[in-house]
Amino acid sequence: MLVGTPAFAAVANPDYITIEDIYAFRNVLETGDQLYFVRYDVSYNATPNEDASETYQMVLYDVGEATLIHSEPLKYYQHNIISMYFSAAKVTEHGLVWGSAYVVKIRGNPVKFDSLTEGINMRTRTLGGDFKEASVLGTIMLGQAQKLQDDWAGITLLTTGGLLNTTGAYTFEKAIPNLHIMVPEIYSSVLVYPTVERRVWTRAYEESLQAHAGSRLTNSMTSIGSIFGISEGWTSFWLGGVIFLVVVGVMYGATKNPGMSMIMAYPVLVGYAWLGLGSSWLQIVGITFLIVGIMFGIYFILQRFA
């Protein structure tokens, strides 16, 4: 019996392949990291059926091409951009030395091509004066966007103010993940997440208020609470509510105005706050609901039934 083995045709060579620009940046997201950026052109009149991610890649070699450090599949054919990012930990892991003559290639995937030939399906550049600090990353990226826009007929990447528009943001974020964090100022619109400052506080003021009550009043509240099986704090809140109701009733008898009665009784709450009766956050929440409920009840009942 004969066994048939399928034959896979190699990908056709491009009409031309170039590396237009190449840059290396450092300290873009964290101290010690490195970003390698390439603007390339893998030009086909008839675009291959295979995805560019299957057929072409950006590769980084050590000095002298002794060791392949990393490869990154291209996102697109034709004139476009690509990058590879190394965190500080990865920089240490790969032993990347800033300013070294590393070799960058835009080349066909060796699995998809019969052979790789410089100038035919591969372009090579050795890094020299291409190392830049993060401070110029934004300016250079806007310059690269302008070059792409000039070549991409009918496609606008920049606003009239020279910042990345929606299309430009998508294009560059696709090629350089997290670019919006590295240089948010080059985007025409930026999504900003609010930061919350962790506050440092003490209970000194609360304790100073509790001192106003004195031992006699505090002990009295504790004793009354023990009768009902509740704490001193809850006892204070309960009695405060009762006193507030009594004062509101007296004021209403004189004014016949429920709203004004509650306003005139407000000093009772201020007095309780100054005395610092009750201390836990649960008690503070409880008294808040209690006060709101009492005030609503008084206003509702007096307005409709008095």
Q: What is the pLDDT of residues 50-70, one digit of tens each?
A: 999 999 999 999 998 989 999
Percent of the chain topping pLDDT 70: 81
List the 103-108 sheet strands across, edge first. 68-73, 56-61, 103-108, 122-126
DSSP code per residue over 128-188: STTEEEGGGHHHHHHHHHHHHHHHSTT---B-TTSSB-HHHHHHHHHHSTTHHHH-GGGBS
What are 55-58's contacts with CB under 8 Å, separation 24+? 55/11, 55/108, 55/109, 55/112, 55/113, 56/106, 56/107, 56/108, 56/109, 57/106, 57/107, 57/108, 57/109, 58/82, 58/83, 58/84, 58/104, 58/105, 58/106
Q: What is the pLDDT of residues 230-287, one digit of tens each?
A: 777 777 777 777 777 888 888 888 888 877 777 777 677 667 666 666 554 445 545 6
Contact 131, 138 (CB under 8 A): no
pLDDT band at 5 (very low <50, low <70, confident <90, very high): very low
pLDDT band at 291 (very low <50, low <70, confident <90, very high): confident
pLDDT band at 1 (very low <50, low <70, confident <90, very high): very low
Domain 16-152: assigned CATH number: 2.60.40.150
303 vs 306: CA distance, rounded Å: 6
User: What's the pLDDT score for residue 216?
Assistant: 74
Q: Buried b vs exposed e over 173-209: b needs ≥16 C-beta within 10 Å?
A: eebbeebbebbeebbeeeeeeeeeeeeeeeeeeeeeb
Q: Buried b vs exposed e over 153-169: b needs ≥16 C-beta within 10 Å?
A: eeeebbeeeebbbeebb
Instruction: Using CA atoms of 236, 238, 244, 246 in order, give the dihedral in degrees to the nearest 10.
Output: -120
Domain boundaries, the chain: 16-152, 204-305
146, 137, 139: which is closest to 168 by C-alpha? Answer: 146
7 vs 1: CA distance, rounded Å: 19
The burial class, CB within 10 Å (0-12 / 13-18 / 19+), for 262 is buried
Contact 114, 93 (CB under 8 A): no
29 vs 35: CA distance, rounded Å: 9
109 vs 11: CA distance, rounded Å: 10
List the 78-86 sheet strands across, edge first. 78-86, 34-43, 16-26, 131-133
pLDDT band at 71 (very low <50, low <70, confident <90, very high): very high
Q: What is the pLDDT of residues 208-239, one digit of tens each?
A: 666 666 777 777 777 887 887 877 777 777 77
Q: What is the pLDDT of residues 107-151, one digit of tens each?
A: 999 999 999 999 999 999 999 999 999 999 999 999 999 999 999
Cα 13 to Cα 60, 120, 286: the distances in Å are: 21, 7, 76
Supply φ then ψ for residue 108, to 5 degrees. -70, 150
